[in-house]
Structure 1
Amino acid sequence: MKLPLLLLLLCLGSAHAAGQAPLAAAAVADATRPDADRARDADRKPAEMLAFAKVQPGQTVVDYFAGRGYFTRLFSTAVGPQGAVYAVTPQLLLDRLQGKPLPPPVSAEPGRANVHETVGAASLNVPVKADLVWTSQNYHDIRIWGGAAGTAELNKAAFAALKPGGYYIVLDHAGVAGLDEAGMAGLHRIDEALVKQEVLAAGFVLDGELQALRNPQDARTARVFETGIRAHTDQFILRFRKP
């Protein structure tokens, strides 16, 4: 590659990254976000998450295991009316709930017409190819409930759901190196190296890591729900790319 072209690409990349910061900040500042979501911002650093995920207007985003919709709402605002957000509930979760109700759908909220709820298993059940598949603090649950086969199915489904060049981001509570199955189930944590191994085996390449939610004071030996460590666990954030 000739030097002028390389410099041009570097400049374009820097401009692209700089352009994401205002978009992320605007999504976080959205006045329609519930107070309960805003109360979690200091711990979840949503602007940094959106920038790391390279979310842009018009994109299709899959929020896998969306919970009460914290990130779903942020994605909805960021991608805008020309984009789409699919909040995918794992079939494994529905099996465990045994008919108990899920949180109210985000798509029913005013201004959230670009949000769609689906149920995913071997397929994420999204009708178009996505730019981003995002899963936050729950990859370990799929591994606990479905074993290695469960996360292998998820990773394969994420790969199939993405456009070439699309991103798959896994954010989760860090466990100690080599944490076994019993440790995962008891602590609701997972070994970062295991996640990398499993996702790379599905055909992804590791594209980036973010340290924004690291906490070196967390010994990684307490359950993530315990008072004092809840919302302050050491968390890894991995960005994978579909070649």
Structure 2
Amino acid sequence: MRPLVLAAILASALASPAFAQSVPPEPPTLQHRQGLSMEMPKVEEDAALQAAITSTTRPEADRVRDSQRHPFETLTFWGLQPGLTVVEIEPGRAGWWRNILEPYAAATGGRYVPVSKPTESMGVEDGTADMVVVARAFHNWSRDGRTDPHMAAFFKALKPGGVLAVEQHRSVEGLNVADVASTGYVPESYVIHAARRAGFELEARSELNANAKDDRDHPFGVWTLPPVRTSERAGRTLTAEERAAFDAIGESDRMTLRFRKPETAN
């Protein structure tokens, strides 16, 4: 085939609606699990944080999960320090992060603020939060258009230089978020693009909470895995062997991201 004819065919394909829908509006600028885009935390001693994590006042079920959720390393990576005002978005009834962050804030002269409906109220004055923590929520927000309004609310609540801390179940890169969000996973690029649209800068990403065993091919989505361990739904019941295999995977593969509101932002 002549080069000019091939070029014309390629140009026509690129202009077709089917092709246009398969290409993300903003290509990822960081490559998944490669090179300098990954950052492991430099753990510094924080006795108050260690005490909050190891405290027997935390539910035993929470402490059992520490080996897979790495709370000390994750919070250190996010930049948690004594005396900060930390807003947690949708902490839920179980309050896994809350059970660490709230006593830590009380012990260090900080402030912990749980927020369930951020577009109605962030629980703090604009520009006064040091950190906003979002764990495992983007798959819900992406399904009904809440991601961008939520990101805007986080940006407004944070001080210039404040941190948006994200932990989220991670899908394979390049998939359409609309196709995977119902399984509990979203692409890492989806979160990064949403944060950048709101004005945040991606400062660092870590593989602290990665899990190479998680192939994301589960009959009940991420909820098939621990800790939820869904084993039956809509007439489908896992066999004992299947249940054991999913338990052996452990918790999901997760992105761990740190965004910052620019110092020059209002």
What residue number does 1:44 align with?
69
Q: Distance in 2 between matches of 1:60 and 1:207?
A: 20
**3-state SS of 2:224 partner:** coil
1:141-220 maps to which residues of 2 (within 5 A)? 141-144=140-143, 146-147=144-145, 150-220=146-216
Q: Offset at 1:173?
A: 0.5
Q: Could you tell me whether the CA contact under 8 Å between 1:135 and 1:170 is conserved in 2? A: yes
Q: Could you tell me whether the CA contact under 8 Å between 1:173 and 1:189 is conserved in 2? A: yes
Q: Offset at 1:214?
A: 0.6
Residue by residue over 1:62-89, the C-alpha shift from the partner in whole angstroms, topping out at 9 and shown as x without a partner, is 1101012111121122223521111111
Structure 1 portions without partners, runs of 5+? 1-16, 91-119
What residue number does 1:224 align with?
222
Provide TM-score, normalisation by structure 2.
0.67
Residue by residue over 1:78-128, the C-alpha shift from the partner in whole angstroms, topping out at 9 and shown as x without a partner, is 2235211111113xxxxxxxxxxxxxxxxxxxxxxxxxxxxx225423246
Q: Are 1:240 and 2:265 counterparts?
A: no
Residue by residue over 1:109-163, the C-alpha shift from the partner in whole angstroms, topping out at 9 and shown as x without a partner, is xxxxxxxxxxx2254232461110001111221112x22xx11011100001111
Q: Offset at 1:23?
A: 3.9
Q: 1:231 to 1:159 in 2, by over 3 A?
A: farther
Stretches (4+) displaced over 6 A: none
Provide TM-score, normalisation by structure 1.
0.73
Q: Could you tell me whether the CA contact under 8 Å between 1:130 and 1:162 is conserved in 2? A: yes
What residue number does 2:98 align with?
72
**3-state SS of 1:56 partner:** coil
Q: Distance in 2 between matches of 1:18 and 1:42?
A: 16
**Match for 2:55 among 6, 15, 30?**
30
**3-state SS of 1:70 partner:** coil
Q: Offset at 1:51?
A: 0.8
Q: Distance in 1 between matches of 2:217 and 2:179?
A: 9
Q: Offset at 1:179?
A: 2.5
Q: Offset at 1:181?
A: 4.3
- Considering only CA atoms, is the larger Rg found in Structure 1 or Structure 2? 2
Q: Distance in 1 between matches of 2:164 and 2:79?
A: 11
Q: Distance in 2 between matches of 1:190 and 1:197?
A: 12
Q: CA RMSD in A?
A: 2.0
Q: Distance in 2 between matches of 1:88 and 1:26?
A: 25
Residue by residue over 1:33-58, the C-alpha shift from the partner in whole angstroms, topping out at 9 and shown as x without a partner, is 12222122122111111111221221
Q: Offset at 1:200?
A: 0.7
Residue by residue over 1:196-231, the C-alpha shift from the partner in whole angstroms, topping out at 9 and shown as x without a partner, is 011011101011112111112222343101141675
Q: Distance in 2 between matches of 1:57 and 1:170?
A: 19
Q: Distance in 2 between matches of 1:25 and 1:220?
A: 32
Q: Could you tell me whether the CA contact under 8 Å between 1:176 and 1:221 is conserved in 2? A: no
Q: 1:21 to 1:58 in 2, by over 3 A?
A: closer
Aligned-pair identity (%): 33
Between 1:215-224 and 1:193-202, the stretch displaced more is 215-224
Q: Are 1:83 and 2:106 counterparts?
A: no
Q: Are 1:58 and 2:83 counterparts?
A: yes
Corresponding pairs, count: 195
Higher RCO (C-alpha 8 Å, min separation 6): 2
